[in-house]
Structure 1
Amino acid sequence: MLDSLSLDRMRMFLTVAEAGSFRAAAARLGRVQSAVSHAIAKLEDELGIALFDRSGHKPALTSEGQALLSNVRDVLLRVDAMRARARGLRDGVELELSLTVDVLFPPLLVGAALAEMSQTYPSVAIRLSAEALGGPITALLEKRSQLSIIVGESFRDPRIAVDALTAIDMIAVVAAAHPLAQQAGPLDAAALADHLQIVQFDRSSLTDQRDIGVISPRTCRVGGQDIKHAMILAGLGWGRLPGWLAAEDLANGRLARVETGVLGRRAQLPAEAYVGHRLDAPLGPAARSFAAALARLCAEP
C-alpha cells in the first residue's frame, strides 16, 4: 500500500538510480548490497511496478522507474528540508559561520552585514572565502560553507535554496589608452574578437569547459577580479567588471566603456545576486541574522 512507503527505501532507490548499480549504491549508503537489493524489491512490491530492468550487466531504470524518479527526489528534498528546519529550531548559536562569496559581489556589503551579525552574536567565529563562477555553489554542495552568495543564473541545483538580493551590473571596459577606447562604436563581436579578452576562470567543475561571456579567441585567464581589474587597467586587454569595482576608474577616466551592444546596452548587463544554502542543512541564528542584514543592506539606496 502507498501508505506503507518507506523513506529509507525511496532513498535507496534514488541512490541506485544515481550511482548506476546496487553495489555502488550500497557503498555510498554504507549498507551491504543484499540489503539494498531487498529494499528495492520491497519498494517494487509496494508500488506494484518494476523500477529497474535487471536483465543487463547493470540495473537500468524502467520507463515507470524513470517517471517516478523525480517524484521520489522531490519527496526526499522536502523531508530533508523539514528535518533541517527542525534541527535549526532545536540547536543553539553556531560556533562558526562559514561563508563563500562570489567575487563579483561587493565585499563592503558583506563586511557590513557580518559586522551587524557580530554585534548580536559576538562569540561566533567567521570563515570567509571568495570564489568565482561555480565556486560558491560547489562550496555548498561539498558542505564547505553554510551560506554562499551566488551571482548569475548559470549555476543552480535543486538541493540549494536561494533568495534574491540585488543586481550586479557587469560592464565591458578597457583602459583609456587601449585601441578599443579610440574606436567609434558601436563595435560588433568581430571587432572585439580582434583584441585580447581578460576573463575569469572557474576553479570548480560546474562550467564543464564552458566559456561564459567569452567572445575573443585570444584570452588571458585570471584567478580573481583584483588581478583582472589590474590587467585591464594596464592595457593588456578588455573585459567585463562589476560596476562597483569599475565605477571610480570610469569616473576619473582611467577606464572607458567598450562601445558595443553585443554585451547589453552601453556594454552593460545586470546579473542577479542570491544568498543560498543547502535545503538539508539548518541555518542557525547567526546565519539567519547575517542573511537578513545583507538583504536589508542590499535593499537600501
Structure 2
Amino acid sequence: MQNSRDVLTPDALAMLQSIAQAGSFAAAARTLGVVPSALTYRVRQIEDALDVLLYDRSSRKALLTDAGAELLREGTRLLADIDAVANRVKRVATGWESQLTIAVDSIIAKAIVMELCEGFFALAPLTRIKLRDETLSGTLEALTSGQADLALGVVATSNQNGILSKPLGDVNFVYAVAPHHPLASLTGVLTDELIQQHRAVAVADTTQRGNGMTFGILGGQDVFTVATMKDKLDAQLRGLGCGFVPECMARAYIETGRLVVKEVERAQRVVRINYAWRGSNKAGHGRALQWWLEQLSSPATRAALLQQHRGV
C-alpha cells in the first residue's frame, strides 16, 4: 500500500482544491479534463494511505469530512509555500519574482493601476502580474495571509512583522443621494433618526476572517450590500439607497447634479488610505516589487491612484 508521501503530491493537493472549488467530482472532472472515476480513484488512494475518509459518501455533493477539511487547509498552505519557494529561487537567479500579486482595493482608480501595469510590461520583465480585487480589511488580509505581495488602498495598517506601509493620501467622504431620493429635497442637517428610516448602501468587506469593517451604518437601518465602491456609487445614482461616498469618485456626478450632497449631524469622514507590502528591507525585494515601490514614491502617482477615477 502506498504511504502518505507517495500520495500527498502537489498534483493531488491541487486536485482536492479543484474539487472544493467546483463543488462536485463531476464538475471538477470537467474542469480538469478527466473522467469522474479518475478523480474518485485518486481520492481513494489518498484515503487508503492516510486511513481516513476525506468525503462524506452519503451526499451527492463533494462534502468534506473534518479530516478532509483539515487536509484541504494544510494542502492549500503547502501549495502556497511551494509557490513561494519557486518564487524565491527565481528571484535569486534573476532578481525578478516569478509572479507579483497586487491586492487592489475598490477605492483605487483601476485605470491608473492599468497604466502602471502598462509601464511595467514595457520593461519586458520576467515577472507575471496578478491583480486581486479586494475591499476594506480584505485588502490588507490578502497581504498578511501571503496571498499578495503589495496592497493598494489599505485602510488600517498592520503591526505584524514584515508588513510595511506608507500613505497614499487622504480621501474625503461626503453623504450623497440621488436628486429623486426622498432625502434630497429636505433642508437643513439630516439627523441620524431621519437617515435611519432610509436604506443605506454598503460595500461588502472581502475579509475571510471575522465580520470585517462597516462604516456609516446605523443600528436597525435597512442595508443594500454591494461588492465594490463603484457598485455603491451606481446604486446611489439610481436612488436605491444613501450613504457616504468618496468625494473623488462622486465629484463628476455632484458637479452635474446627478448626486446631491447632504449635511449630516455626524462629523465629515476623512480616511487615510495606505499602500503596504511584505518585506523587511529594500535589499530583500525582487526587482518587480522595487519597481512598483519606486512608482509609488511619486506624489503624482499616489494622488492619481486616489483621484483619477474614470468611467465610474
What TM-score, normalized to structure 2?
0.60
Q: State the alpha-carbon separation in 2 of the partners of residues 168 and 188 from structure 1.
A: 23
- SS of match in other structure, 1:182: coil
Residue 130 of structure 2 corresponds to 127
SS of alignment partner, residue 244 of structure 1: helix
Question: What is the DSSP-based 3-state SS (H/G/I as helix, E as strand, rest coil) of the residue aligned with 2:170?
Answer: strand
Does the 8 Å contact 1:116/1:293 carry over to 2? no
Query: Are 2:168 and 1:172 aligned?
Result: no
CA distance in structure 2 between the aligned counterparts of 1:212 and 1:206, rounded to whole angstroms: 18
Alpha-carbon separation, structure 2, partners of 1:243 and 1:299: 14
| SS of equivalent to 2:172 | strand
Per the alignment, residue 115 of structure 2 pairs with: 112
Give the whole-Å Cα distance in 2 for the aligned partners of 1:272 and 1:132: 15
- The separation in 2 between residues aligned to 1:190 and 1:156, in whole angstroms, is 35
Task: For residue 201 of structure 2, give the secondary structure of its aligned residue in structure 1.
Answer: strand
Contact 1:106 1:244 in 2 (8 A): no
- Tell me, in whole angstroms, the C-alpha distance in 1 between the residues paired with 2:231 and 2:177: 14
Aligned residue for 1:25? none
Displacement after TM superposition at 1:206 (Å):
4.7
Instruction: Answer yes or no: is the 8 Å Cα contact 1:151–1:271 preserved in 2.
Output: no
Matched residue, 2:290: 288
Tell me the secondary structure at the aligned position of residue 132 of structure 2. strand
Quote the sequence identity (%): 22
Partner of 1:189: 192
State the shift of 1:244 in Å. 2.7
Whole-angstrom distance in 1 between the partners of 2:136 and 2:176: 19
State TM-score, norm by structure 1.
0.62
**CA 1:258/1:298 → structure 2, altered by over 3 Å: closer, same or farther?**
same
Gaps of 5+ in 2: 1-89, 308-312
User: 1:216-252 deviations in whole A, cap 9, x for unaligned?
Assistant: 6211111122321221111111022222321111111
Residue 30 of structure 1 corresponds to which residue in structure 2? none
Structure 1's unaligned 5+ residue stretches are: 1-86
Matched, 1:274 2:274: yes
Matched residue type, 2:285 = L
Cα pair distance change 1:293/1:299, threshold 3 Å: same
The residue that corresponds to 1:202 in the other structure is 205
Higher relative contact order (CA 8 A, sep 6+): 1
Corresponding residue for residue 44 of structure 1: none
Matched residue SS, 1:129: strand
1:49-88 alpha-carbon deviations (Å, 9 max, x no partner)? xxxxxxxxxxxxxxxxxxxxxxxxxxxxxxxxxxxxxx97
| CA 1:104–1:210: 2 relative to 1, 3 Å | closer
Match of 1:230 among 210, 214, 234: 234
| In structure 1, distance between residues paired with 2:115 and 2:245 | 22
Report the residue type matching 1:285 in the other structure.
Answer: R
Residue 179 of structure 1 and its aligned partner are, at CA, apart by 1.2
Matched, 1:240 2:244: yes
SS of structure 2 residue aligned to 1:180: coil
1:75-94 paired onto structure 2 within 5 Å: 92-94=95-97
Q: Secondary structure at the match of 1:184?
A: coil
Alpha-carbon distance in structure 2 between the residues aligned to 1:126 and 1:294: 16
After superposition, the C-alpha distances for 1:93-138 in whole angstroms (9 at most, x for unaligned) are: 1222210011112223322332333333544321001111111111
Q: Structure 2: how far apart are the matches of 1:276 and 1:90?
A: 26
For 2:297, what is the secondary structure of its paired residue?
helix
Distance 2:149 2:212 in 1: 27
The total of aligned residue pairs comes to: 211
Q: Which residue of 1 aligns with 2:104?
A: 101
Give the Cα separation in 1 of the matches to 2:295 and 2:248. 20
